[in-house]
A and B are shown apart, each in its own frame.
Chain A
């Protein structure tokens, strides 16, 4: 059963060849057998999953099912789910039972999807390896000595390890696309504002965006159909109609203009990844696309700008974790300041504390202009680069990361080297444009990823391009050995 894609399973459920309860039980069993090693889930909600599955079967029988009804999914543990622990991978929220439901997970509940549980992540989504989680690192099913990427590494490993059909992720600087690249998945970061952030615990509010992670572009389209849409509870949510993301999947790529940013194919890119993208370029040409070299002249400024803006917003967003109304509180605080300082020092991990401190510094008196304001100006330059590029091309093709998955522990003591792995992904967050990551090949048994970035609200086109590529390649069909 777990070999099938979401689209295939959806059909099997609708035709009653399979019941959601059977399917859910199957996945729960796989989690029990295989997740001890992967550590992709923080919380497995077997009981409620089976209840949801039974309800889904009833709904299918009643004839009012959606494409997602009865499909066992997993949610990144950054989405609040009512009555369940929502930990954000942090000791700070280890005891946090969310009193409310996020818009994204509510939409899946309304669609009749089954939630198997909550997946592991870098603490508060701050990281690119899922090693900074309070619940320990997640392993990459393609090589369990390696990281699955991050911060949505738990979702990536769970989908790649066939421990759920598809999953939700969030992407602030590449946290959907980079792990998708590391695990041979298809993952989409929508346009900023396309998916509601209500109930998605904030890391950097002006960059965060939820999106789907699945095996194929076709599955991502089905997932995004549920996730996307206006939400009055989120001021940054965009009130624009949601297209049918599956409708155009089979459109021809004839005449499609694909841009290759020369800055992204310079020094520092792993040779195998570079070769894989060259091969993909040929495939796209064969599908009728035109290839053009373009320039994103300010690309190299993206990392410094991102590592000001994201920590600055995070330093403020995470001030609410003060040991007063929810979450971790230190023992026997001597006074108010002690309560704050020890609750936060003991509740947050090293990387979160580092980013809070960097952000605090960047916003502090005397440094605001040189850091925060400067970064926002560079953000403008980067957005302008994209807008200029989209005058010439329809989409931009580039790698998702400079190398395939690295080893667990390899970069953990060197934050700067870890930050540098975000080089290809963070520009899209700064500019707010959508991007889809998809597998482009393998090197030494490790997946190689690439991504397509499009103009605002071009998700349907991006999925169409990815889908067409997946019609002529089989990277996305490969499964890690033992899964």
Chain B
């Protein structure tokens, strides 16, 4: 499967990764190469196979509904890029 520039731009946008004009050709080529490798899967018929999401196929354990956390805002926000009045700051959110 080979990708073109539009595919790569679309994927990069979905993944929110800026990609510059001069990166596009090499990225397109490398991603296409990886997809060629992946496409080897298509050779095998899996129509009657159930997908496997977790190797051990165990089931979800449930947690008792208890509050175990206390306020650690100062510690957690000490590593934040920008905060004010206890809020994380981001460029204006437009709805």
A and B touch in the complex (CB under 8 A): yes
* Chain A residues within CB distance 8 Å of chain B: 95-97, 99, 191-193, 206, 232, 235-236, 238-239, 298, 300-301, 303-305, 307-308, 315, 319, 322-327, 329, 333-342, 344-346, 348, 353-354, 356-358, 360-362, 364, 370-371, 373-381, 383, 415-416, 419, 430-433, 456
Q: Are A383 and B55 in contact (CB under 8 A)?
A: yes
Q: Determine how close the nearest CB of chain B comes to the CB of A240; give it in whole angstroms.
A: 10
Neighbouring B residues of A415 by C-beta, 8 Å: 30, 33-34
Contact with A along B48-63 (1 / 0, CB 8 A): 0111111110101101
Q: Which residue of A lies closest to B58 (CB)?
A: A238
Residue from A97, A346, A361 having most chain B Cβ neighbours under 10 A: A361
Q: Chain A residues with Cβ under 8 A from B67's Cβ?
A: none
Most chain A beta-carbon contacts within 10 A, residue among B11, B15, B33, B49:
B15
Q: Are A236 and B54 in contact (CB under 8 A)?
A: yes
Do B41 and A432 touch (CB < 8 A)?
Answer: no
Looking at chain A's contact residues, is the secondary structure mostly helix, strand, loop, or mixed?
Answer: helix
Q: Say whether B31 contacts A354, CB under 8 Å.
A: yes
Known contacts A325-B80, A376-B51, A419-B37, then 4 further A-B pairs from the complex at CB < 8 Å, ordered by chain A residue: A99-B72, A99-B75, A354-B30, A357-B31
Check if B42 sits within 8 Å of A374, measured CB to CB.
yes
B81 within 8 A of A: yes
Give CA–CA (A342, B14) in the complex, Å. 13
The interface residues of chain B lying within 8 Å CB-to-CB of A348 are 17
- Count residues of B near A (Cβ-Cβ below 8 Å): 53
Q: Mark B63-95, 1 if CB is under 8 A from A, else 0.
A: 100000000100110111110000010111110
The complex places the Cα of A353 from the Cα of B93 at a distance, in Å, of: 26
Q: Which residues of A contact B63 (CB under 8 A)?
A: 232
* Cα–Cα distance between A301 and B52 once the two chains are bound (Å): 15
B41-A206 in contact (CB<8A): no
21 A-B pairs with CB atoms under 8 Å apart are A99-B76, A236-B54, A308-B38, A308-B41, A319-B16, A326-B80, A327-B81, A334-B91, A341-B17, A341-B18, A348-B17, A356-B17, A358-B31, A364-B14, A375-B41, A376-B51, A376-B53, A378-B46, A380-B52, A416-B34, A432-B54
Give which listed residue, B3, B37, B49, contacts A377 with CB less than 8 A. B49
Q: Which residues of A contact B37 (CB under 8 A)?
A: 303-304, 307, 416, 419
